[in-house]
Amino acid sequence: MKRIESSVKHIPYSQEQVYTKVSDLSNLRSLVDRIPEDQKKNINLENLECTADKVSTTVSPIGTVELRVVARDPFKCVKMETQRSPIALTFWIQIVSTGESGCKIKLTVDADLNMFMAKMVEKPLTEAVEKLADLLSTLPY
């Protein structure tokens, strides 16, 4: 099991506001809209489908990836797992209050990888987790 963690990001919105947004996966559409066009070409997301509890997409060249919420700890954490993916992942977003108008978030991924796969995907997966944390820290909540 390979664990990848983002750096801690400070967000100038309350823990409740951030949790409300990130705990409903249908809100990911607004996140995708914020990805710069030049980076969207590198990601190549096709057939993106978002509901409150799952997100599914085709990612070239790896195929279909589906994440489903498996646990919500109101205002503290949202935990997701892959349902369809070439790599088994557990992904969670932790949210900690820093006062009435601020909080911190950290993203964590546990990936079930053999040693060969870990060497191939560790760097791109680490970069993706950090970029997602950066995007989440810039959203208007």
- Cβ pair 113, 9 in contact under 8 A: no
The per-residue pLDDT for range 101-112, each reduced to its tens digit, is 899 999 999 988
pLDDT at 42: 58
> Quick one: pLDDT at residue 121?
80
What pLDDT is stored for residue 46 in this prediction? 64
For 6, the 3-state DSSP assignment is: coil
Contact status, residue 110 vs residue 136, Cβ threshold 8 Å: no
pLDDT digits (tens, 9 = 90+) for 44-99: 566 788 899 999 887 766 678 899 999 999 999 999 999 988 788 999 999 999 99
- The answer to whether residue 41 scores a pLDDT higher than 70 is no
d(CA 70, CA 136): 20
Q: Is the peptide bond before 61 cis (omega within 30 degrees of 0)?
A: yes
The domain ranges of the chain are 2-138
6: pLDDT confidence band, cut at 50, 70 and 90? very high
Give the homologous superfamily in CATH for domain 2-138. Answer: START domain (3.30.530.20)
pLDDT averaged over the chain?
Answer: 87
